[in-house]
Amino acid sequence: MKKLILLLLLVAAESFSQVPKWVTAGKDIHYPTEFYWVGIGSAAGTDANALEQARQVARREVAAQLKVAVSADFSVVQKASRIGDSELVTSNLESRTESVVESMPLTGLEIAEIYVAKNDNTTYALAVLEKESFLNTLKVELDGIVNDAKTKLQSSDELSKSGEIGMAVNKYLDELTFIEPLFPKVVFYNALSQTHYEVPQEIMPESIDLSLKNLLEKIFLKKISGDNQTQDLGKLFNEPFVVQAFMRDGGDEKALKGLPVSFKVGGKLIDKVFTGDKGFASYKFLSEAEGLREGSKGTVVACVDLAKVGSELRKALNQNTSVSFSYSVVMPELRCYLELTGVGSSSAQKSLRNKLADILQKNGAILQSGAPFTIKVDLSSTDGGSMQGMGGTMVVQDVAMLVQLVDSKSQGVVGSLTANAKGLGKTKAEAVDKAVVSLKLPQSQLAEMLGKAKNSPK
């Protein structure tokens, strides 16, 4: 290849008695613009570096012509609805098409001629790209994407029919992601070609979206057992909360296996369970104060949870797949004294104390001096290293909180739990304080610890 370039340089430099017409006219009769995109590039100098620069300029000139053609034709493409009217397609399509133009490999582009003008110390390059060959290559690529999309869609439909709804939904969503790059390439092709490329309606986003919506509207969740239970704080309810997922198609109902069901309390996720062979999902719930109303009443909400589904589809799904379980919690009315020691400034410890007092009272604790139980909270810190921030070097501190429920008379430990937090500051003290004020008590562990005190001597 290098020998060929040198030969071209020599021929151009020594054999031409006059400047080629394409250098001055910007076109060549051997490459009519009806069939070719033509680019002329030039660079100062007559060496190999100048040659490479001239070639690059010529390539960029061809690419610029394609970009201008696509930009000029874009509004026409949109009005003609050559790729559909779906918002999923047209959203940001112009900018995405421009990105495709920028990154599109110019397959088939050739440097047809080179001219070295020694008299003005300039190298010229003529780049040509045959339109029909380039567009045929692009069409083959589009056909490949379409065929792969049809195969993926068929797989999604088969999973849906077999009742593998969770997998089917993920497949449909993956299909939407897969075909997204197709549409700016179609715009690119249609702007340059005399023939329009039509995307099959079956793989258009609005069609896949409709199939997905119709599928989700057939999914239902039934409440089977576990409703209206009462339990002491910190203990497991006697019966699990049980639901059954099924698909209703006409008058038939089919149990759905492998569907994710979330159980939530007060909007907080407490567990996610997958349905079994007969569509059942169950959760054994530990009673806690989180989400309680009127002091002792609570609700567990079970719903089919498909994480990738967008907000509109999720709204349609939730209409049929949300069920509620009511329950009551018997609070222990535990009398205790709160004692806090360890690291942290007085203001940081005061903030944490107020937070702990509030959550303890919500869990039925009555805080008073001389109480039969003491909640002992000990704070300790360890060095977490340092890191560079916008304000310079920042110190990291790890703070551990040990919480113990202690019998005030015997000093025996009835129950305990731990929590941790990180703090970042300019000094160790600042980092410790930030960690201290951010500490939180784990609700289920707290409820279980306080529940152990119910049968203890007061």
Average pLDDT (428-439) is 96
Query: How confident is the model at residue 309, as a pLDDT?
Result: 74
Question: What tokens were used for 112?
Answer: 């047809």
Average pLDDT (233-240) is 92
Each residue's pLDDT tens digit, 57-67: 999 999 888 88
Query: How confident is the model at residue 13, as a pLDDT?
Result: 47
Higher pLDDT, residue 251 or 426: 426
Query: How confident is the model at residue 321, as a pLDDT?
Result: 87
Highest average pLDDT, of 82-96, 101-115, 220-234, comes from 220-234
Highest average pLDDT, of 217-221, 311-315, 353-357, comes from 353-357
Q: Distance of CA 433 to CAs 106, 193, 279, 293, 428, Å?
A: 60, 67, 49, 33, 9
pLDDT of residue 88 exceeding 50, the answer is no
* β-bridge mates for residue 220, sequence order: 246
Question: What tokens were used for 111?
Answer: 């440097």
pLDDT of residue 341 exceeding 90, the answer is yes
Work out the number of other CB atoms within 10 angstroms of the CB of residue 1: 5
Whether 223 contacts 105, CB under 8 Å: no
Higher pLDDT, residue 50 or 81: 50
Confidence at 371, pLDDT banded by 50, 70, 90: very high
Query: How confident is the model at residue 68, as a pLDDT?
Result: 81
Q: At what angle do helices 346-362 and 443-451 cross, to 10 degrees?
A: 70
Each residue's pLDDT tens digit, 13-48: 444 448 899 998 888 999 999 999 999 999 999 999
Confidence at 103, pLDDT banded by 50, 70, 90: confident
Fold of 335-451: Rossmann fold (3.40.50)
For residues 329 and 230, give the distance between their C-alpha atoms in angstroms, rounded to a whole number: 6
Average pLDDT (191-196) is 86
Query: How confident is the model at residue 74, as a pLDDT?
Result: 57
Each residue's pLDDT tens digit, 383-405: 999 887 766 889 999 999 999 99
Residue 266, judged by CB atoms within 10 A of its CB (0-12, 13-18, 19+), counts as middle
Question: What tokens were used for 262?
Answer: 């979330």
Question: DSSP H helical segments within 225-367, as ranges?
Answer: 311-320, 346-362
Size of the chain in residues: 458
Average pLDDT (103-112) is 88
* Domain span(s) for CATH 3.10.129 in the chain: 2-133
The CATH code of the domain at 219-330 is: 2.60.40.10
Higher pLDDT, residue 194 or 281: 281
Angle among Cα 222, 246, 317 to the nearest 5 degrees reads 80
Residue owning tokens 């535990």: 334
Query: How confident is the model at residue 83, as a pLDDT?
Result: 47
Average pLDDT (421-439) is 95
Comparing 109-118, 156-165, 307-316, which segment has the lowest mean pLDDT?
307-316
Query: How confident is the model at residue 79, as a pLDDT?
Result: 40
411-439 burial, b at 16+ Cβ within 10 Å, e below that, comes to eeebbebebebebbbeeebbbbbbbbbeb
Highest average pLDDT, of 8-12, 69-73, 121-125, 442-446, comes from 121-125
End-to-end CA distance of the chain: 95
Whether 303 contacts 281, CB under 8 Å: no
Question: What tokens were used for 169?
Answer: 């939904």
* pLDDT above 90: percentage of residues in the chain: 50
Average pLDDT (95-112) is 80
For residues 36 and 128, give the distance between their C-alpha atoms in angstroms, rounded to a whole number: 6
* Domain span(s) for CATH 3.40.50 in the chain: 335-451
Confidence at 53, pLDDT banded by 50, 70, 90: very high
Each residue's pLDDT tens digit, 173-185: 889 889 988 888 8
Work out the number of other CB atoms within 10 angstroms of the CB of residue 253: 15
Q: Average pLDDT, whole number, for the chain? A: 85
Query: How confident is the model at residue 2, as a pLDDT?
Result: 47
Confidence at 81, pLDDT banded by 50, 70, 90: very low
Which of 202, 191, 196, 43 lies closest to 123, judged by CA?
A: 43
* Domain span(s) for CATH 2.60.40.10 in the chain: 219-330
Question: What tokens were used for 6?
Answer: 């040198």
Query: How confident is the model at residue 302, as a pLDDT?
Result: 95
Question: DSSP H helical segments within 109-204, as ranges?
Answer: 131-162, 165-179, 182-192
Each residue's pLDDT tens digit, 290-305: 888 877 899 999 999 8
Comparing 10-24, 59-73, 108-122, 139-153, which segment has the lowest mean pLDDT?
10-24
Q: What is the DSSP letter of 193?
A: -
Fold of 2-133: Thiol Ester Dehydrase; Chain A (3.10.129)
